[in-house]
């Protein structure tokens, strides 16, 4: 059996590891840094993940937990509501969970966001572990401790920073992802490559066939390289005071499109892909390097759209102004050149409109 890749995240006072491999869900207990067996482990998962991987994950947890409880939650962004958070909090109470027990997120990024938020607030903070089963979650959402739920007015407007005790990414779970969801996850791979490491884009191009065939070792290489970039950035800037903000590349417009579509029109990665194309056009309009063509090649290699936004510009502008990253004006992450991100503000509405029109339907 091939040993999993370990990526250490050295956040002061809260270090943990991301484990990436094939067939490691059943071995979850090996990767949980628990000093003693916990009384209750609550495994929270959407119905699909619970059906496909609940038995494997439970078997892995039973090595270190006296009792494993399972809780089914809605899939996708529909799970990320205050009412669903309250339901899970009360389920923990009914199960007799205490602050030294364990809450585990099994599923995609939305599941991790909700479960992490609940873990951050139950008894003012309890341990939780991530078992991401989507590409989006394995390369991005499960790493870094961002948790949250949505409000009707916007995405992730309520949340907390709460680091997991471990992230256990089993790439065999990606075999069951529908093609659209797999490509959606590749948006974050492209983002990491554009803002930090062009070698990751080269890997995606070079091993594209094997990656889309879900070949385990190619997936381990892809997920490990992308996760390493995220890990390095969040370890240096846990609460987004500096460089971590660059991980929002493509997300200012992306989140606006998601919100305006009621979180049902666009997959997250599709919206972010259009958001990155928008940012490339905006950078060129601001006089920075014109890397629109390079963006388009990377986005298309991931099977994602380079345009297609349909919302009226005025609605998009209002939605971007309501984003949690707003700071005396809309702040955009753009690239001075590949691998050289920067924040800009005070961008003229005309320039923003021009860039948006280039990614509109």
Residues annotated as catalytic (active site), given as ranges: 124, 146, 188, 230, 240, 244, 248, 251, 255, 268
Residue listed under structure tokens 């707003």: 326
Q: Supply 212's token pair.
A: 């889309």
Residue listed under structure tokens 């460089």: 243
Q: How many whole angstroms separate alpha carbon 274 and alpha carbon 95?
A: 43
Query: C-alpha distances in angstroms, 251 versus 63, 187, 213, 244, 350?
Result: 39, 11, 28, 13, 20
Q: What is the signed CA dihedral for 191, 181, 150, 282, rounded to 10 degrees? A: 30
Output DSSP code: residue 141. Answer: I
Q: How many whole angstroms separate alpha carbon 63 and alpha carbon 144?
A: 26
Q: How many whole angstroms separate alpha carbon 28 and alpha carbon 325?
A: 35
Q: What does the buried/exposed string (b/e) look like for 121-151 if buried means 16 or more CB atoms within 10 Å of the residue's CB? A: bbeeebbbbbbbbbbbbbbbbbbbbbbbbbe
Q: Supply 159's token pair.
A: 């949340």
Q: Supply 303's token pair.
A: 């099977």
Q: How many whole angstroms separate alpha carbon 354 and alpha carbon 351?
A: 5
Among the listed residues 134, 82, 142, 152, the one whose alpha carbon sits nearest the alpha carbon of residue 116 = 142
User: Please, what is the end-to-end C-alpha distance for the chain in angstroms?
Assistant: 48
Q: How many whole angstroms separate alpha carbon 283 and alpha carbon 297?
A: 17
Do residues 189 and 164 touch, judged by C-beta distance below 8 A? no
Q: How many whole angstroms separate alpha carbon 76 and alpha carbon 268?
A: 10
Q: Please name every residue paired with 335 in a beta bridge, in sequence order, or none if there are none.
A: 341
């Amino acid at each position: 059996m091939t040993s999993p890749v370990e990526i250490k995240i050295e956040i002061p006072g809260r270090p943990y590891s991301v484990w990436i491999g094939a067939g490691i869900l059943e071995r979850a207990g090996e990767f949980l840094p628990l000093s003693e067996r916990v009384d209750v482990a609550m495994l929270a998962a959407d119905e699909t993940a619970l059906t496909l991987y609940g038995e494997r994950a439970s078997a892995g947890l039973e090595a270190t937990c006296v009792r494993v409880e399972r809780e089914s939650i809605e899939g996708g962004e529909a799970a990320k509501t205050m009412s669903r958070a309250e339901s899970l909090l009360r389920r923990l109470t009914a199960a007799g969970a205490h602050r030294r027990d364990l809450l585990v997120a099994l599923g995609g990024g939305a599941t991790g966001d909700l479960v992490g938020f609940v873990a951050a607030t139950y008894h003012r903070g309890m341990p939780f572990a991530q078992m991401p089963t989507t590409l989006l979650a394995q390369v991005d959402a499960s790493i870094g401790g961002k948790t949250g739920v949505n409000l009707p007015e916007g995405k992730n407007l309520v949340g907390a920073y709460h680091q997991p005790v471990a992230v256990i990414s089993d790439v065999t779970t990606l075999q069951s992802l529908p093609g659209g969801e797999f490509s959606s996850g590749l948006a974050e791979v492209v983002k990491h490559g554009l803002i930090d490491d062009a070698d990751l884009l080269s890997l995606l191009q070079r091993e594209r066939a094997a990656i889309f065939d879900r070949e385990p070792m190619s997936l381990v290489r892809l997920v490990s390289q992308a996760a390493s970039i995220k890990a390095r950035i969040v370890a240096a800037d846990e609460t987004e005071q500096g460089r971590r903000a660059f991980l929002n590349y493509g997300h200012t417009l992306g989140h606006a499109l998601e919100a305006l579509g009621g979180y049902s029109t666009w997959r997250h990665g599709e919206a972010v892909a259009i958001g990155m194309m928008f940012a490339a056009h905006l950078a060129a309009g601001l006089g920075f390097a014109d890397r629109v063509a390079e963006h388009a090649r990377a986005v298309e290699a991931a099977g994602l759209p380079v345009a297609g936004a349909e919302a009226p510009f005025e609605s998009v502008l209002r939605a971007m102004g309501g984003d949690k990253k707003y700071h005396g004006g809309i702040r955009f992450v753009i690239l001075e050149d590949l691998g050289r991100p920067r924040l800009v503000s005070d961008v003229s509405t005309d320039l923003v409109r021009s860039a948006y029109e280039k990614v509109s339907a």
